[in-house]
Each structure stands twice: as structure tokens, then as C-alpha cells.
Structure 1
């Protein structure tokens, strides 16, 4: 699952918070990174229910900053991720 989060999500601890959320959910591998256009990209691989839980957290209103919207796409896992990291 790849998600793009828009709003005031850079410079507010959003990547750190997302990584902690992914680790707390457990069973997820991937990364979170800032994009040049101000959005944050989240790439997560794992069981679908765990990815959906992360999406719920991203949309839940408890995030640092302000989330105006989240768009996601689903695809086949590519692998190659060692844990869940920030980039």
C-alpha cells in the first residue's frame, strides 16, 4: 500500500509519528518520507488489515500537524524493506 498524505505534515514530527504507529501496529515493513511538494509518502507492506489500520491512524485526527486528506493505492508487495524506516 502506498499512501500520500497532504496538509501540514512536514516539520511537525509526522514521519516519526507514522513510524511509531507502524511499529506499534506490528507486522509492517516499508518507509515514510517527505516529498518536495509538501506531502508525505507512506509505503507499507504487510497484512491488509494492518495496512488498513495504519490508514485509519493517518486519517484519525490524532496525528501531528494537520491532515487534509489521504490518498492510497494498493499493489503487490515488492519486498526488500528491513523494518519500517523514515527517509
Structure 2
């Protein structure tokens, strides 16, 4: 994967997405796909994430975000393209 093929997206997921394992399921899915970045809860009830990877993998990850784990009820996913920062892996971060 060369840096020229890598894109970045900033994602906010709304709905019943906290207290249902959404962050950890996101991290597991991202790692399985080879996506780099992070995920965390927001104080307003949303989940926020940065994903970096090839466009096809990012598309798969975003599709997953619309569903989430079985216990989640996703109502909205907002996606914005961002400049990549070359994260080394994928991590679950503290709530902001």
C-alpha cells in the first residue's frame, strides 16, 4: 500500500452507538481490513473515528459503520475526507 493510494476520512456515527461495543467492534473490523486510525466516544452520544486506507477498504469500513455491531442502532453517519496522517495502527481512544 503506497501513500499515494491512501485516503483519509473523518466519521461521526449517531444513534444508539455507545454502551453497545461499537468502538471495540469498529477497531476489530478496521484491524481485520488493514485500516489505520482511531475511534472514540463523544460526550454528545456519537462515535467519532478517523480511517486511513485504500478507497475500496474505506468504502467497506464506512458500509460497516452504517450497521455497526448487532446491538447498535445507527441513525446517521457523517463522512468528511481529510488529509492522511499516516497512523501506524488502529486504536480505541478516550472519550472526548
Q: Same fold (TM over 0.5)?
A: yes
**CA-atom RMSD, angstroms?**
1.4
Structure 2 residues not aligned, in runs of 5+:
1-8
Name structure 1 gaps, 5 residues minimum. Answer: none
Q: Normalization by structure 1: what TM-score?
A: 0.89
1:46 alignment counterpart: 53
Looking at structure 2, the residues matched to 61 and 82 of structure 1 have their Cα atoms a distance apart, in angstroms, of 23
Runs of 4+ in 1 over 4 A off after TM superposition: none
Higher strand share: 2
* Aligned residue-pair number: 85
Which has the higher Rg, Structure 1 or Structure 2? Answer: 2
Helix, strand or coil at the partner of 1:74: strand
Asked if structure 1 preserves the Cα contact closer than 8 Å seen for 2:13 and 2:46, the reply is yes
TM-score, structure 2 as length reference: 0.81
